[in-house]
Chain A
Amino acid sequence: MSNAPALDIRGLSAKVADEEISILKSLDLALNPGEIHAIMGPNGSGKSTLAKVLAGHPSYQVTGGEALYLGQSLLDMEPDERALAGIFMAFQYPVEIPGVSIANFLRTALQARLGRGEELDLFDFQDQLLEAMKLLEVEPSFAERPVNDGFSGGEKKRNEILQMAVLKPSLAILDETDSGLDIDALQVVSNGVNTLHKENPEMTILLITHYQRLLDYIKPDFVHVMVDGKIVRTGGPELALELEKQGYVNWKPSS
């Protein structure tokens, strides 16, 4: 299985669970371990739906196709099983958990990765957390704040990448992590992602973004253009620049 792609999506179709209209329409995409891929596309093209379907969001229903993670079928797994298998999604809109500190949350999440009877080493955890906070340029007191509760847009996104740094996924899906960030925060967050990838070159990253701007900071190996639920073009980083100049107008849904 060592040669299996990190993620191999074949003919994936999906819709909102309560509705009839398909959002993903027989989408194909393959990512090899360690690669960074960016998916760009206009609003409504289904980019975020793809991220959520891969993470197992209950509001979406897969109507066809397959998604293999390291050769293993993903679609029948519960969201927490996918997480424990190494898949992480940075949310476009991170969710508030009042009364639960980031430290407590991450400790619980790491503990969940250990077997029964195994105990998380709290000193190691403390070190990891402090290192991750340094990377994301937040004060140590940040970890004592309740998860996303009362956070600014920038703090929420830093918190997502902070969690990624501590949980060390093997496949990270970043859903519009650049949205709502000012240029300073964008630099910090991008630097965080780049550092994590340097530390762990085997980590595969799927960036989902509307704007080319993010790709100035995180260099993808491949850029895909997604329109109307499928990938319509694939290229290198230069494709993002082309899109930036021309916009998405040329990418009408093909029939």
Chain B
Amino acid sequence: MPESKLVDNLDLDNYKYGFVDSESHVYRTKPGLDESIVRDISRQKEEPDWMLQFRLKAFKIYESKPMPTWGGDLSDLEATLDEIYFYVKPQEQTERSWEDVPDKIKNTFERLGIPEAEQKSLAGVGAQYESEMVYHSLKEEWASKGVIFDSIEDGLKNHPELFKEHFGTVIPIADNKFSALNAAVWSGGSFVYIPKGVHLDTPLQAYFRVNQEKMGQFERTLIIVEEGAHATYVEGCTAPVYSTDSFHSGVIEIVVKKDARFRYTTIQNWSNNMYNLVTQRAVVQENATMEWLDGNLGSKLTMKYPSCYLMGKGAHGSIMSIAYAGPGQHQDTGGKVVHAAENTTSSIISKSISKEDGRSTYRGLCKVHEGAKGSRSNVECDALLINDTSRTDTYPYIEVDEKQANVGHEATVSKVGDEQLFYLKNRGLSEEEAMGLVVRGFLEPIAKELPLEYAVELNRLIEMEMEGSVG
């Protein structure tokens, strides 16, 4: 699509996804969190006892862990957590047919551009509204090959053994305060199983929407990619703009078995009143490949470090991320790779843009265990500052306990240069067009990896954000 068309369609003053639907739900817990709410969520979901016990244990761990202070500013979060709704059930069940989704919710997703039509280029679609997946479907072609793409609740109900074998194994409850919180109150998310040798040629897509004010969304996703299987998963997230803060804390666990390939793509464009604290981790077995492609554009504060634990010989992990920190935003993002076997390889490429008083932080860990001979890792983080007030920080942690390993790190900080702008203006580009072109060029190595509709969306966002960015 020609870029000029995109520019014409811009709604410059508004966060595009900021519209609100009137509230409606079939069930909602009282604001705040205590043990009775944890029990209530489990009862609502008619869970087996082991899951209730899992939740209760997690709740205790959550309560015992202090609020982390090493990252973004969470000083107001405690008060926010006392006010939000931890569980809001929008409808009775997850629908298989788009027709059966209530009109109001359906309209929301249609306004967000996630209609049925999109399924044509997707293997499966899931949509979460508030605390539950309201819709989940998978093309028959893939279902017949044994692919499972369900809500996490249906995964637990319909595939209890497979579920129990993997759930909570990649990210233990006590990994961090928010993984413990998620383990206690999780609701919604996907359960994905790709059988041995199956190659999905189109992505699975999940879409997350928070509509309710003062809402906490705690989706939990478990993905198992069997030996030699290939698949891609894409998730997108938005919410209305409220004056009060909301909270999103997902946990994504992925197991990529021998010779398998998996890519997980996120474009989060939460409104700027959202705390977004997510734990994402993949265990990567022998000769398997895991790729995280992570776009953090929205939220008030994001703390998210997708991880690859390279457990089998020759495993490969890749983390590519884009962070955009606009006015009042802090994107504290990066990645984590752990080399625990011989000849494992990894690469982290992180690109951030900070505008006005926006702040981007790269925080990354590369750890090579003793015995992981022949392992190689390369970390590259580039920050682009738009204004003099913009801020970026880099915290690259590197721990290498193996002599025969090769770890490289490179970091750059650049400012959109006056000479660059002058050069482009000399060719007839306006200041905004010039700024947009420089920023898009900066992001290009990662943007070209995005699915087309997300790449278009990213371009549109940048055009919009660069309006009036130069003073």
Task: Give the B-binding residues of A (Cβ under 8 A).
Answer: 55-59, 78-80, 82-84, 88-89, 91, 94-100, 104-106, 108-109, 111-113, 116-117, 119-120, 146, 163, 167
Please name all residues of chain A whose beta carbon is closer than 8 Å to the beta carbon of B425 when the two chains form the complex.
56, 78-80, 83
In the complex, the answer to whether B429 meets A112 with C-beta atoms within 8 Å is yes
The 6 closest A-B pairs by CB, nearest first: A99-B441, A99-B444, A100-B441, A83-B428, A95-B423, A79-B425
Q: Identify which of residues 391-421 in chain B touch chain A, using a CB-to-CB cut-off of 8 Å.
A: 417-420
Q: In the complex the two chains form, what is the Cα distance from A91 to B426 in whole Å?
A: 10
Please name all residues of chain A whose beta carbon is closer than 8 Å to the beta carbon of B418 when the two chains form the complex.
58-59
Identify which of A57, A104, A112, A117 contacts B422 (C-beta below 8 A).
A57
Q: Identify which of residues 417-457 in chain B touch chain A, using a CB-to-CB cut-off of 8 Å.
A: 417-420, 422-431, 433-434, 437-438, 440-445
22 A–B pairs (Cβ distance < 8 Å), ordered by A: A55-B422, A55-B426, A58-B422, A80-B429, A80-B431, A83-B428, A94-B423, A97-B424, A98-B441, A99-B442, A100-B438, A100-B444, A104-B437, A105-B424, A105-B427, A108-B3, A109-B427, A109-B428, A112-B428, A112-B429, A112-B433, A146-B441
In the complex, the answer to whether A84 meets B437 with C-beta atoms within 8 Å is no
Q: Main SS of the interface on chain B?
A: helix
In the complex, the answer to whether A112 meets B445 with C-beta atoms within 8 Å is no
In the complex, the answer to whether B420 meets A108 with C-beta atoms within 8 Å is no
Q: In the complex the two chains form, what is the Cα distance from A79 to B422 in whole Å?
A: 7
In the complex, the answer to whether B438 meets A97 with C-beta atoms within 8 Å is yes
In the complex, the answer to whether A167 meets B4 with C-beta atoms within 8 Å is no
Given A80-B431, A119-B2, also A88-B426 (CB < 8 A): yes
Please name all residues of chain A whose beta carbon is closer than 8 Å to the beta carbon of B430 when the two chains form the complex.
80, 112
Please name all residues of chain A whose beta carbon is closer than 8 Å to the beta carbon of B444 when the two chains form the complex.
98-100
* Extra 5 A-B pairs, beta carbons < 8 Å, given A58-B418, A80-B428, A91-B426: A80-B426, A97-B423, A105-B427, A111-B4, A119-B4
Q: In the complex the two chains form, what is the Cα distance from A108 to B438 in whole Å?
A: 12
Measured CB to CB, the nearest residue on chain A to B420 is: A95
Q: In the complex the two chains form, what is the Cα distance from A112 to B424 in whole Å?
A: 11
Smallest beta-carbon distance B429→chain A, Å: 6
Q: In the complex the two chains form, what is the Cα distance from A111 to B428 in whole Å?
A: 9
Please name all residues of chain B whose beta carbon is closer than 8 Å to the beta carbon of A112 when the two chains form the complex.
428-430, 433
Please name all residues of chain B whose beta carbon is closer than 8 Å to the beta carbon of A91 when the two chains form the complex.
423, 426
Please name all residues of chain B whose beta carbon is closer than 8 Å to the beta carbon of A80 when the two chains form the complex.
425-426, 428-431, 434
Given A97-B437, A100-B437, A111-B4, also A84-B428 (CB < 8 A): yes
Q: In the complex the two chains form, what is the Cα distance from A96 to B414 in whole Å?
A: 13
In the complex, the answer to whether A95 meets B417 with C-beta atoms within 8 Å is yes
Measured CB to CB, the nearest residue on chain B to A52 is: B422
Identify which of A56, A98, A105 contacts B442 (C-beta below 8 A).
A98
In the complex, the answer to whether A100 meets B429 with C-beta atoms within 8 Å is no
Smallest beta-carbon distance B266→chain A, Å: 22
Given A57-B422, A108-B3, A119-B4, also A99-B429 (CB < 8 A): no
Q: In the complex the two chains form, what is the Cα distance from A120 to B442 in whole Å?
A: 25
Q: In the complex the two chains form, what is the Cα distance from A14 to B408 in whole Å?
A: 48
In the complex, the answer to whether A113 meets B442 with C-beta atoms within 8 Å is no
Q: In the complex the two chains form, what is the Cα distance from A56 to B443 in whole Å?
A: 29
In the complex, the answer to whether A89 meets B426 with C-beta atoms within 8 Å is yes
Smallest beta-carbon distance B443→chain A, Å: 7
Q: In the complex the two chains form, what is the Cα distance from A123 to B437 in whole Å?
A: 22
Q: Which of B418, B422, B433, B445 has the most CB of A within 10 A?
A: B422
Please name all residues of chain A whose beta carbon is closer than 8 Å to the beta carbon of B429 when the two chains form the complex.
80, 108-109, 112
Q: In the complex the two chains form, what is the Cα distance from A242 to B3 in whole Å?
A: 53
Smallest beta-carbon distance A158→chain B, Å: 16
Measured CB to CB, the nearest residue on chain B to A166 is: B427
Please name all residues of chain A whose beta carbon is closer than 8 Å to the beta carbon of B437 when the two chains form the complex.
97, 100, 104-105, 108
Smallest beta-carbon distance A143→chain B, Å: 15
Please name all residues of chain B whose beta carbon is closer than 8 Å to the beta carbon of A119 when the two chains form the complex.
2, 4
Identify which of A89, A96, A99, A109 contacts B445 (C-beta below 8 A).
A99
Measured CB to CB, the nearest residue on chain A to B423 is: A95
Measured CB to CB, the nearest residue on chain A to B439 is: A99
Please name all residues of chain B whose beta carbon is closer than 8 Å to the beta carbon of A98 when the two chains form the complex.
441-442, 444
Measured CB to CB, the nearest residue on chain A to B430 is: A80
Measured CB to CB, the nearest residue on chain A to B438 is: A97
Q: In the complex the two chains form, what is the Cα distance from A92 to B303 in whole Å?
A: 45
Given A58-B418, A80-B425, also A97-B441 (CB < 8 A): yes
Please name all residues of chain A whose beta carbon is closer than 8 Å to the beta carbon of B3 when the two chains form the complex.
108, 111
Q: Which of B8, B431, B437, B440 has the most CB of A within 10 A?
A: B437
Q: In the complex the two chains form, what is the Cα distance from A165 to B19 in whole Å?
A: 48
Measured CB to CB, the nearest residue on chain B to A80 is: B425
